[in-house]
Structures are given as structure tokens and as C-alpha cells.
Amino acid sequence: MARAVSTRRKWFFTILAWSIAFVIFFPILWTILTSFKSEGDAILIPPKFLFFDWTTENYGVVQERSDYIKFAMNSIILALGSTAFALIIAIPSAWGMAFAPGKKTKDLLMWMLSTKMMPPVGALIPIYLIFRDFGLLDSRGGIITVLMLLNLPIIIWMLYTYFKEIPAEILEASRMDGANVWKELVYVLTPMAVPGIASTVLLNVILAWNEAFWTLALTTKDAAPLTQFIASYSSPEGLFWAKLSAASTMAIAPILVLGWFAQKQLVRGLTFGAVK
Amino acid sequence: MGTISLKNVRKSFGDANIIPNANLDIRNGEFVVFVGPSGCGKSTLLRLIAGLEDLTSGTIEIDGKNVTDAAPSQRGLAMVFQSYALYPHMSVRNNIAFGLKMAGVPPAEIEQKVAKAAATLNLTEYLDRKPRQLSGGQRQRVAIGRAIVRQPEAFLFDEPLSNLDAALRVNMRVFIMQLHKDLGTTMIYVTHDQVEAMTMADRIVVLNRGNIEQVGSPLDLYNNPDSLFVAGFIGSPKMNFVTGAEAERHKAKTIGIRPEHLEIASGRGGWAGTIALAEHLGADSFLHVDTETAGRLVVRAPGDFRGKDGDKIVLKPDMARLHKFDDNGKVIR
């Protein structure tokens, strides 16, 4: 009897989990489906779920009208650039806080995280003015710096929790072996933290890739990533749902595939330290 | 050369005074053991010498050179950690070679030195493995290999055998003693195990609550302990302590007598009592005896002693071996 109950429970939770997953995934699924509809079908009420005339014409039109590759290149450069930049700052900071903590280290970590609680629009005007005065508007360097600062608290937090798991004795052993701080970071700490750094990088690339607020506000053409590419389809000329969906699908496809392959690392990264 | 001297060394963490004031001179080539119960500051003292902790005040000199503010890497010492602290991402070869690489030794010379160390430690066939593929004893040997390859001024061992099983521990103990004999390098060895201290040390430093209680050769500490603490810490089973009227007869607050210095006698003129418990170890038997006037005493009897629980016996102390202590626990000589 007990076994029957547990089987029933198992079915229940399996169906529940799939339902929740489906609800979460539905907007993406709907976007993908819509991208294959004609503009007419896209706004039809009641909507057609699967049985419509499938067409790839939207993708052709989108590619013709705007240069996908150029936007995608910008997205890649911004995501990777801001991540690399952030790591250069975050690894030494997290090392310091994990292995040589002071009285205020916890407060410092909390304060860094608190900057993420502020609505970004509060900082928009000052940052916009700084960008304008320093000629950084629509420059890759400028937007990389902003994205780096934006995600730095999360990166430092993640690395900090990883580093905390590394036994301090191993770093001390390297010091006894004659390594200075720099060599200790490069030859011992970083290679040991590779799994942690990898999941931090993945998460940050995804966050930077999807970041819309700042990229929309601070770029127009030269440094514009895929968020601008999508936004250009909700223009004053009117909404073209099917084309907008095609653009969105093209924009999220790379990161979706990356996320799919890296999901193990991501889950590990997000739960590290919490579950041992 | 490897002389190390501590002068008025003090270390505190916040309000906690871990090492109030330590003075110690370690001679070149000496095997010194820091021993004491857990939390007595012995590891902290070792880490101060290593440079892994900063002194609150005082000075440390190595070979007459003041290294108080020098980084660990500049002190020319090698350390073997309790957890071995091997680099998990490096092969055994690279673990051993790491210190030489940091020192900028040419690759050919590194190769030759690593091969030599590996041969000494029976690690040659494991050179390409990662630490996680090794047993505890092998990891321990890699940690030692990493230390010896650099030919340091002195070796620091922080409870290196406490993670090994009993049989391996005895082997490694002998191995480290042999290593000391072969290299002739100064070694400082931290342990809470008084048997390790007694068997390995040229000189033992007994620590209690951060204070150096006594420094001396193993037999010196065994025969002439300065204080109740040292008397109780060195020797196994522990020295018997008797207070009250029996102690006052000897004009002392406490008297101490080791289990091996009590004789089992018949008739009168000793401490009469009943055997409460007998531990038979084969070569020896340890009898726990409830005496009428001196409380419970442990006595060492020959292995073939036939006494049973409940038997009445008389214990006669060897008066020449009786230790007397005053109110402050200091010895009365």
C-alpha cells in the first residue's frame, strides 16, 4: 500500500513540476510560435495554437530590414567584455574578503548587494550625463563599464561563496612555498576555483546579454546589442507582432542554447554554499 | 643553518591573549616538539614562526636575522600541514615542484630534485597522479616531499600524523625521525600526543594556555617536571596525584607518583586498597586501586600479575621518585 501511495505522490509531483515549467516557459514558446505566423494570424482572436499556416517569411524580412549579425556581435562583445572586466576586479576582491576578512567585511558585502536593490532608473540621469560629457554614449567601452558595475556585486558574492569553500591551508601552503600574493591568485586560487568561476561567468554572460534598461538608454547604433534589435520592432510605425517575435527569437536563441547546455553548472553555481 | 629564536613574543586576537609572552631559542639541527592540550596555543606559536600570523609584539629571528615582519615566503621555512594542504589541481610532480618553480629554479634542476625526493619517499610511480587518487599516507608523503625538496632552513610540522590511522602513524613517526637524522635540519613539530613528543623530540616545549610551562629533554621532563601541569601531561598512564593529609605528611599541597613507581607489596607500611579495575595490555597491566587514604591510584604491574577485581593489595611508593608540589602547582625540590 505504502508503495502505491508513493507512486501516486510521484505522479502528482511530476505533473505539477511539468505544469509549472510549462507555465514559465509559455511566453517563450508563444514568442517562437508567433514568429512563424503571418501578421494576420498573429493578432487573431481566439488565437490559433499550432494549426496555422507556418511561414518563415518574418525571419527573412527581419534580416533584410536590420543587420542581425551586427547586433549579435555587439551583444557578444558586451556580454563577454563586461564579464572579463568584472572578473579582473572581482577575483582579487573576493579573495580578500574570503581569506583576509576584516571586521566590516560582512557589512561591505551587504552594502554591495544593496546597490542592486536601488531602482536603476534612479541612476539613469547622472550616468547619462556622465556618458554625454565624456563622449561615451553609444560606445562599447562605456556600456561595458556600466554592465560590469551592474553585475559586479553578484559576481563578487558568487566568487566569495566559492572561495569560502577552499581551505585556507592550501593557500597558506603556497605562501610557505614562496608564492607572493599574485602567484597565489594565479597558480593556486584561480585554478582551484575554475568550476565556480565558470558558473559565475555563465550567469553573468546571461545577465549582461539580457540587460535591456541600460543598453536601450545608452546605445543607439554603433554599440547597440540585440535588445535594441528587438526594440526597433515596437516602433511608432505600429506593432508587428510576428516580426517582433521573430526578432526576439533570434535574439534569445544563442543564450537559450548556451543556458540549455550549461544548466548543470548554473544550478550548481546558484546553489553553491547553500547545499553542500 | 637553522637557529630560531623567539623574544617576548605576544599574540592576541582581539581581547583574547593567545600567547602572553613566549621566549625560546631553538638550536640548529634540533628536533623540537611543541606539546600541549588542544587550545594551548602550540599551533599559533608555529604559525607565528611560519609567518602565517602577525605578531602582536616581540621579535622572531631566524639565523640571527630579524624576520618579524617578513612574509612567509622570505623566511626559508617549509611547513607540513595537518590537512596536508596539497594543491588538488596539480599532479604529485607539480605539487612537489611548486616551491622550486616559485623560486625560479631551472626546469632541469627541478626535474632532478623532484625525482630524488620522490625516490626517497617511494612516490616515483605516483608522480603523475592527482592528490585525490592517493591514500592518506601517500598524501602525507607528498606533503613531506614538497617540504624537503626546497632544502629549507627548518621544517615546521603542524600535527602531521593526526589524520592517519594508528599503524601508519607509527610508521610515519619513524620515517620523520629517520628524515631528521639524514638531513640534520632543524625541525619544529606540533602535537597533542605526548607519546609522539617523548619518542621524537630532542627537546620538548610544553605549552599550557599560551605559556611555555617547561622546556627540556623528554627524560628531563619525565623525571623532573617543574609543575603539576607538566607532571600530569608527560607520561602514560598519567602521574597519580594525592592531596590532603597524605600530601601534608610530605609538607606539600600535592604529591605525585607515577604508576610505574608504585610497588605492589604485602603487609604494612604503604597505601592499602582494593583493586577496582584491571587493564591487561599483555606486557603490562594497569590496576586502578581504591586506597583507604590516598584515593584512587593507578599502578603499573607486570603482565603476568594475577590480581583480580576486588583483591586487597598494598602499594608502596618509591620515595626517591615522589614529586612534591606547592600551592601554586610548582615543584618543591
pLDDT for the residue numbered A269: 62
pLDDT for the residue numbered B67: 93
Residues 6 or more apart whose CB falls under 8 angstroms from that of A84 comprise: none
Is residue B214 within 8 A of residue B228, CB to CB? The reply is no
Q: Is the CB of A169 less than 8 angstroms away from the CB of B85? A: yes
Mean pLDDT of B264-285: 86
pLDDT for the residue numbered B45: 94
Q: Is the CB of A173 less than 8 angstroms away from the CB of B88? A: no
Distance from CA of A271 to the nearest CA of B (A): 22
pLDDT for the residue numbered B129: 93
Nearest to B155 by CA among B26, B19, B36: B26
Residues of A in contact with B78 (CB under 8 A): 176-177
DSSP letter, residue A272 = B
Say how far residue B321 (Cα) sits from the centre of its chain.
24
CA distance B146 to B156: 12
Confidence band of A172 (pLDDT split at 50, 70, 90): very high
HEC letters along A105-130: HHHHHHHHHHHHHCCCHHHHHHHHHH
Residues of A in contact with B77 (CB under 8 A): 176
Interface test with B, best of A175, A176, A185, A187 (most B CBs within 10 A): A176
pLDDT for the residue numbered B304: 85
Q: Is the CB of A174 less than 8 angstroms away from the CB of B103? A: no
CA distance B125 to B138: 11
Q: Does the complex come out with an ipTM higher than 0.90?
A: no
Interval A203-245: pLDDT, tens: 889 889 888 888 888 888 888 888 888 887 776 666 678 888 8
Q: A140-164 and A105-114 helices cross at what angle (nearest 10)?
A: 140
Q: Which of A176, A187, A191 lies nearest to residue B79, judging by beta carbons?
A: A176
Distance from CA of A176 to the nearest CA of B (A): 5
Interval B168-196: pLDDT, tens: 899 899 999 999 999 999 999 999 998 99
Mean pLDDT of A93-106: 89
CA distance B135 to B261: 42
Mean pLDDT of A130-150: 90
Q: For residue B251, is it left (φ>0), alpha (ψ between -120 and 50) or beta?
A: left
Q: Identity (one letter) of the amino acid at B223?
A: N
Q: Identity (one letter) of the amino acid at B72?
A: P
Query: For residue B276, what is the enclosing H or E element?
Result: strand B271-280
Q: The whole model's pTM is what?
A: 0.79
Distance from CA of B25 to the nearest CA of A (A): 22
Confidence band of B113 (pLDDT split at 50, 70, 90): very high
